[in-house]
Structure 1
Amino acid sequence: MVRKAVIPVAGFGSRMLPASKSIPKEMLPIVDRPAIEYVVKEAVRAGIKEIILVSHSAKTTIEDYFDSQFELEQQLEAKGKHALLAEVRDILPEDVSVISVRQHQALGLGHAVACAAPVVGNEPFAVLLADVLVDCDGQKEDLGAMVEHYRASGAAQIMVREVPEERVDQYGIVALEGKVPASGESAPMTSVVEKPAVDAAPSCLSVVGRYVLPGDIMAILAKTPPGAGNEIQLTDAIATLMQRARVDAYVMRGRTFDCGNKVGYLQAILHYASRHPQLGEKARELMAAELAESAAN
């Protein structure tokens, strides 16, 4: 059973400065709630019961957000604001826990995941990048499907999507044993490389930011030397894992939003605002009005 998820949140978010100077980028709001809540709830819907934040001393507000706040709840109840009270209490189910471990040095994603090894132990676990949002728009959710594929096959699952050929040097890129499977399906991988040169990339399938991995990978990460960018790369550890066991690429169904940069963050706000259950209709009206105003001027 995949019951644990590791979410690295220790980065400084330099691409989101100056907003991230005093606010963790993961706490920047997407409409009416911080980005990190979308990611955590995605994990919870996939059956995760233990969230492990790999954090930094300057980011305690993320942990605080998932803690109960008795005084606030008491005031909302006393004022009869029951709908708001329900929203505050619904941030995290009672049977889900959030704990934090520290990453004292920024040595790469692989290092961040390895920092959670004492908590993960030998159990399989998911990894979710906190600045990547995934919306399946009513379809079966990708992370939940990846967990199911892992349970059925025992093979690690790496979520991928196709990117333009000229952008492959910005991502981890995988190669497959056979043809690219349909969305929502998995196929065995033959290689994975971090940020290859455009003319050397094995495919145009990029790693998106969702993984389901066996506990064995923690021992591999402990021995993985620095790679691209002089950082310990998770993709390098996955490449080593592939020498011992099957690893699958899972082709995502949903849309992904990179909230680690300003354009992706803005795109996410527009997307989630237009689909918000209470604000969606008004948000779409405002967007249309703004476009009409801009065109007129």
Structure 2
Amino acid sequence: MLSTPITNALTIDVEDYFQVSAMAPYIPRSEWDSRECRVEANVERILALLAQHGVRATFFTLGWIAERYPRLVRQIVDGGHELASHGYGHERASDLSRAQFSDDITRARALLEDIGGVAVTGYRAPSFSIGQGNLWAFDCLREAGYRYSSSLFPIRHDHYGMPDAPRFAHPVRDGLLEVPATTVYLAGRNLPCSGGGWFRLMPYALSRWMIRRVNTVDGQAAVFYMHPWEVDPGQPRVPGIDARTRFRHYVNLDKVHARLDALLRDFRWGRMDDIFLASQDGGAPALRSGGHLSQALAA
């Protein structure tokens, strides 16, 4: 008898190309309003592909975007997708004081709920910027009314990462779940397989194999993430950026739409809240938390 396929979580971080953290040294915030904004067309392209496949996803949306493009927020909600928070202005949690972070997440949640007309329960820190040095952020999220976060990445990376964190969903505070970006454990280390630049850089067959391994070997739902600008090979090229940033940002942009189409065919996908909050609400079985560090994070 064949078992029911695991439903994985498809997530989109709704920000524009000029708001990427790696672009911060080259594009000051004061210039954001004067830049060509392409997020509307790119999100609509993603929404059309999701509708074609009958997939619902979670859209971690910047308050800055929602404020300027409220119609886009309503399109997300009207499509049956989850509206979640990416903070207001794409400032890394690790760059903010506790008071500043609390203000940012509270402002963003109130704005999204007002425009979208739905409860916002999920949050993702820009650049996965919650880690060992600012675990107090979980207290702020709980106080602000969020029920889950997807802000840890249990890998080593030059911009973020907490390699010793649990790989799968685990409670970090009473009533607050952390659902990390997905990794595969191979050769004694965690390797990213959750999307982003790795999805563009790696052959699609490798991404597919890694997600299948998480589903079959670990028996867990994978969390895949992407950005609207990644389906936009025609976006403006930012002059003067360093070679590493240029490669990371622009590599294989022309391949993403077709790869996303294949990903939607090859796996079963759903919203973060439907997949991970069901265990808290008495629905699906609870997910494994992942060891002693999970207990430390929840302390």
Q: TM-score, normalised by structure 1?
A: 0.31
Query: What TM-score do the two structures reach when normalised by structure 2?
Result: 0.31
More strand by share: 1
